[in-house]
Amino acid sequence: MGRKILLVVDLQKDFIDGSLAVKDAANVIPAINEVKNKFDWVYFTLDWHPTNHCSFKEQGGPWPVHCVHYTAGTALPESVLEGLKESRMRFIRKGCKPGKEEYGAFEGVKASDQDYFREGDVVTVCGIASEYCVLTTLKNVYKLSKKVGFKVNVFLEGTAKFESYDTLLAYMQENNIKKKTF
């Protein structure tokens, strides 16, 4: 029997109420808190940028400075961590290299060379923001699922958007990825 994994993408202060805040992002926190203990594992992806990251406007990128490593903007909401056993959490940093944009976690991860997912697991993806990091992480995880042999779904109530869920929903429909409801 596989494990149930909640994969929470970039639920960080800068995306909730900081320099790159996503409208209504704070609303996903109660939804995630309500379901987090129904999972065997909770994985958190973290944008973890150096000060000179290529995604920043000052470096020619499209975004304001956000989620600079070791700053308050990278923090997760305390309430989301409350009640979770440390032994059942994993933190996956992305966007760590100055010259590489990395919306998705698990980019370039080989199925045979990873310990995140096993055959039979069920992975539920949610987080911030649906059009960018959630979508790209979902694509990366879905690709791995085909090689490793696990299921993937999306907890839409635990997912914030900049403007629209359309690209996320279209990808889900194209690949027969279901919405997870509780």
Partnered with residue 44 across adjacent β-strands are 8, 91
Q: Pick the catalytic residue from 13, 36, 53, 94.
A: 94
Annotated active-site residue 38? The verdict is: no
Instruction: Write the CB contacts of 142 (distance below 8 Å, at least 6 apart in sequence).
Output: 152, 175, 177
Q: Pick the catalytic residue from 10, 14, 102, 121.
A: 10
Write the DSSP assignment of 48-97 as a string of letters: -B-TT-TTBGGGT-SB-S--BTTSGGGPPPHHHHTT--GGGEEEEEE--S
Q: Pick the catalytic residue from 14, 25, 36, 47.
A: 47
Annotated active-site residue 113? The verdict is: no
Q: Pick the catalytic residue from 101, 107, 131, 157.
A: 101
Whether a cis peptide bond, with omega within 30° of 0, leads into 75 is no
In degrees and rounded to multiples of 5, residue 151 shows phi and psi of -100, 150
Annotated active-site residue 75? The verdict is: no
Angle separating helix axes 135-148 and 166-174, nearest 10 degrees: 20
Q: Pick the catalytic residue from 25, 67, 129, 160.
A: 129
Q: Pick the catalytic residue from 36, 49, 53, 180.
A: 49
The structure tokens listed for 118 are 């096993």
Annotated active-site residue 49? The verdict is: yes
Annotated active-site residue 111? The verdict is: no
Q: Pick the catalytic residue from 133, 145, 160, 161.
A: 133
Annotated active-site residue 19? The verdict is: no
Annotated active-site residue 66? The verdict is: yes
Q: Pick the catalytic residue from 66, 67, 121, 180.
A: 66
Annotated active-site residue 58? The verdict is: no
Catalytic residues: 10, 47, 49, 55, 66, 94, 101, 129, 133
